[in-house]
């Protein structure tokens, strides 16, 4: 079962999480977020199709390959905004939860351009993608292409804690919308783990993705990415990232709290 099939299946309330999307002992968090978003959007009030404004995912326990069920609650649906909660369950346990806000455009006199411009990056195809090495890199690397322009690879003992580069799916889906963007946006490793000199366990606790522009695009679009580490201490790191369409439009802000052992 490929990504598109999983996303469509999740909209029915049940989904089989496919093998090959692992990240350590858990399923890759972007896929988890994409599946829950798909389930939630399918339950929005009939006749409405507002864009996603924000989704916060809590990774409660490792999501493993196999059957999973979603439970969606529409908390409130007003004239412009709709908020919903979705949980992902495997067996008797909740393994992930997400709170999302959808909001239709409204008239406003406010307009503030992002203070963070898209970085100057080499053309994507001039940078070799991070390799997929079975048994050495996360399984989901076989599905996601990341081209690192600045920063260092994980566990390289670097002095830096930032990354910039390009990302897209190795095999383009038939279409590309919010579901696919969420499934792609979490692909980069936590930027801080490049400072470790050897592999150590780590995982995301929470992930918030805020969409500030339309993310519908050509399926093979390269998206620009930049992340820096705001703070790291006592086994937790807090990162802040921006994602741009290649035309320079800021489309998303991504924030994570990551637990790091090492």
Split into its structural domains, the chain has a count of 1
Burial of 255 (0-12, 13-18, 19+ CB in 10 A): middle
CATH code: domain of residue 38: 2.40.160.210
Q: Is the pLDDT of residue 200 over 90?
A: no
Give the pLDDT band (50/70/90) at residue 110: confident
pLDDT of residue 102: 97
Q: Is the pLDDT of residue 74 over 90?
A: yes
- Closest among 171, 132, 130, 142 to 20, alpha carbons compared: 142
Q: Poorest-confidence range of 57-66, 99-108, 166-175?
A: 99-108
Q: How far apart are CA 44 and CA 241, in angstroms?
A: 28
Give the pLDDT band (50/70/90) at residue 15: very high
Containing structural domain, residue 195: 3-104+113-260
pLDDT digit string (tens) for 145-188? 999 999 999 999 999 999 999 999 999 999 999 999 999 999 99
Q: Is the pLDDT of residue 76 over 90?
A: yes
pLDDT of residue 113: 82
For residue 158, give every residue at least 6 positions away whose Cβ sits within 8 Å of its Cβ, in sequence order, or none.
151, 152, 194, 195
**For residue 171, what are its two tokens?**
């095999």
pLDDT of residue 47: 82
Q: Is the pLDDT of residue 111 over 90?
A: no
SS3 40: helix
Tokens 């309330």, located at residue:
13
């Amino acid at each position: 079962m490929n990504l598109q099939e999983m996303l469509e299946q999740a909209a029915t309330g049940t989904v089989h999480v496919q093998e090959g999307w692992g990240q350590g002992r858990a399923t890759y968090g972007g896929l988890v977020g994409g599946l829950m978003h798909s389930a939630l959007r399918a339950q929005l009030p009939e006749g409405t199709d507002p864009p996603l404004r924000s989704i916060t995912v809590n990774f409660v326990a490792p999501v493993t390959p196999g059957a999973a069920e979603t439970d969606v609650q529409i908390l409130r649906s007003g004239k412009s905004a709709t908020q919903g909660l979705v949980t992902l369950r495997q067996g008797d346990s909740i393994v992930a939860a997400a709170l999302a806000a959808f909001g239709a455009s409204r008239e406003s006199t406010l307009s503030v351009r992002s203070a963070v411009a898209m970085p100057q990056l080499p053309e994507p195809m001039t940078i070799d993608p991070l390799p997929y090495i079975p048994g050495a890199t996360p399984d989901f690397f076989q599905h996601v292409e990341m081209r690192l322009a600045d920063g260092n690879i994980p566990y390289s003992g670097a002095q830096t804690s930032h990354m910039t580069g390009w990302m897209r799916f190795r095999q383009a889906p038939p279409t590309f919308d919010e579901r696919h963007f969420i499934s792609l946006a979490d692909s980069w490793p936590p930027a801080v783990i490049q400072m470790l000199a050897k592999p150590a366990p780590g995982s995301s606790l929470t992930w918030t993705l805020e969409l500030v522009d339309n993310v519908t695009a050509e399926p093979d679009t390269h998206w620009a990415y930049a992340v820096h580490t705001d703070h790291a201490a006592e086994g937790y790191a807090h990162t802040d990232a921006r994602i741009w369409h290649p035309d320079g439009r800021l489309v998303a802000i991504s924030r994570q709290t990551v637990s790091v052992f090492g």
